[in-house]
């Protein structure tokens, strides 16, 4: 009888709530997902930082004004005459000036040029001020005459220079050089202005002359890129 009463008793067992932390098989996938997201965010931030750095480097490089590119296209000499200690001739020169900058335009405030024989200037000229915009170029034609008997604007040429030019002309070719001094202003947007002096040089220009004729032309025929040293920046 006692055993029957004991069998009829019910046993109540309190169950504890199951948490995810107590089950390693549940917490592992959640941690893995968070780690993947953090790696992805880290990679995106590194990529964005690289892009920003590249843009800054490109902008910094572009903000440094580059000297203009000068290309000599043609050089002709006509009516070359050397007599009584004077050099008379007509010079016809064509060249192109290009502004290679992406963010800076350049204004040529003053440009003085000359043509020389062995560093001895035989004629000079000046150009009017002009402006080159971004990536803009301009082709210019300069015609200079030294045929006037008295020209105060032209330099006095020494006798030995005239003798050598005359002798080379008779031999068929004269070695000349072109040089310019340019006072220019670079303007970058509204925040930057830079003043420079440049010294473009087109050297070793061999001008061939027809026999007993005062007409000559640049033998290589061009075009030729000239060097553009910056004297002051």
What is the residue range of 42's domain?
20-63
In this structure, the answer to whether residues 111 and 192 fall within a common structural domain is yes
Q: Which of 30, 63, 96 is the last residue of a domain?
A: 63
Q: Kindly report the pTM of this predicted structure.
A: 0.69
Q: Please count the CA atoms within 13 angstroms of the CA of 91 that sit on its side-chain side.
A: 22
In this structure, the answer to whether residues 163 and 55 fall within a common structural domain is no
Give the list of residues 6+ apart from residue 100 with CB closer than 8 angstroms, or none: 66, 68, 69, 135
> What Rg value do the Cα atoms of the chain yield, rounded?
40
Q: What is d(CA 93, CA 74) in angstroms, rounded to the nearest whole number?
A: 6
Residue 18 pLDDT more than 80? no
Confidence of residue 3 (pLDDT cuts 50, 70, 90): very low
- Answer whether residue 11 is part of any domain: no
- Answer whether residue 4 is part of any domain: no
Q: What is d(CA 163, CA 103) in angstroms, rounded to the nearest whole number?
A: 50
Q: Dump pLDDT digits (tens) for 166-210.
A: 999 999 999 999 999 999 999 986 667 889 999 999 999 999 999
In this structure, the answer to whether residues 75 and 106 fall within a common structural domain is yes
Whether the CB-CB separation of 139 and 95 falls below 8 Å is answered with yes
Query: What is the average per-residue pLDDT within 47-58?
Result: 71
Greater pLDDT, 73 or 11: 73
Q: Which of 48, 63, 78 is the last residue of a domain?
A: 63
Give the list of residues 6+ apart from residue 136 with CB closer than 8 angstroms, or none: 98, 99, 105
In this structure, the answer to whether residues 34 and 125 fall within a common structural domain is no
Give the list of residues 6+ apart from residue 117 with CB closer than 8 angstroms, or none: 161, 164, 165, 174, 175, 176, 177
Residues constituting the chain: 233
Residue the block writes with tokens 């015609």: 143
In this structure, the answer to whether residues 128 and 205 fall within a common structural domain is yes
Whole-Å CA distances, 62 to 65, 105, 148: 7, 12, 47
pLDDT of residue 116: 96
- Answer whether residue 184 is part of any domain: yes
Residue 62 pLDDT more than 80? no
Confidence of residue 121 (pLDDT cuts 50, 70, 90): very high
Q: Dump pLDDT digits (tens) for 73-91.
A: 999 999 998 877 788 999 9
Q: Dump pLDDT digits (tens) for 187-197.
A: 986 667 889 99
38-47, 78-87, 176-185, 222-231: least confident range = 38-47
Backbone φ and ψ of 180, nearest 5°: -135, 150
Greater pLDDT, 196 or 147: 196
In this structure, the answer to whether residues 116 and 203 fall within a common structural domain is yes
- Answer whether residue 149 is part of any domain: yes
Confidence of residue 1 (pLDDT cuts 50, 70, 90): very low
Q: What is d(CA 164, CA 157) in angstroms, rounded to the nearest whole number?
A: 12
Greater pLDDT, 151 or 107: 107
What's the chain's average pLDDT? 83
Give the list of residues 6+ apart from residue 207 with CB closer than 8 angstroms, or none: 75, 77, 173, 174, 175, 176, 216, 217, 218, 219
In this structure, the answer to whether residues 81 and 40 fall within a common structural domain is no
pLDDT of residue 6: 46
In this structure, the answer to whether residues 30 and 76 fall within a common structural domain is no
pLDDT of residue 154: 83
Confidence of residue 56 (pLDDT cuts 50, 70, 90): low
Q: Which of 63, 92, 121 is the last residue of a domain?
A: 63
Q: What is d(CA 60, CA 53) in angstroms, rounded to the nearest whole number?
A: 10
pLDDT of residue 214: 84
Reduced 3-state DSSP string for 96-140: EEECCCCCEEEEEEEEEEEEEECCEEEEEEEECCEEECCCCEEEE
In this structure, the answer to whether residues 53 and 124 fall within a common structural domain is no
In this structure, the answer to whether residues 59 and 90 fall within a common structural domain is no
Total tally of structural domains belonging to the chain: 2
């Amino acid at each position: 009888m006692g055993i029957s009463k004991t069998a009829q008793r019910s046993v109540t067992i309190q169950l504890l709530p199951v948490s995810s932390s107590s089950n390693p098989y549940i917490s592992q996938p959640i941690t893995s997902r968070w780690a993947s997201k953090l790696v992805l965010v880290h990679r995106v931030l590194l990529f964005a930082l690289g892009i920003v750095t590249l843009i800054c480097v490109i902008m910094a490089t572009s903000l440094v004004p580059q000297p203009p590119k000068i290309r000599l296209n043609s050089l002709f000499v006509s009516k070359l005459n050397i007599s009584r200690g004077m050099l008379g001739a007509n010079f016809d020169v064509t060249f192109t000036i290009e502004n290679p900058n992406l963010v800076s335009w350049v204004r040529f405030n003053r440009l003085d040029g000359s043509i020389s024989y062995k560093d001895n200037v035989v004629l000079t000229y000046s150009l009017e001020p002009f402006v080159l915009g971004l990536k803009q170029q301009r082709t210019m034609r300069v015609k200079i005459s030294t045929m006037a008997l008295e020209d105060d604007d032209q330099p006095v040429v020494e006798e030995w220079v005239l003798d050598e030019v005359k002798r080379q002309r008779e031999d068929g070719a004269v070695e000349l050089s072109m040089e310019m001094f340019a006072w220019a202003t670079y303007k970058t947007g509204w925040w930057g202005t830079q003043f420079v002096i440049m010294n473009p040089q087109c050297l070793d220009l061999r001008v061939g002359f027809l026999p007993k004729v005062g007409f000559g032309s640049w033998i290589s025929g061009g075009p030729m890129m000239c060097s553009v040293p910056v004297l002051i920046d």
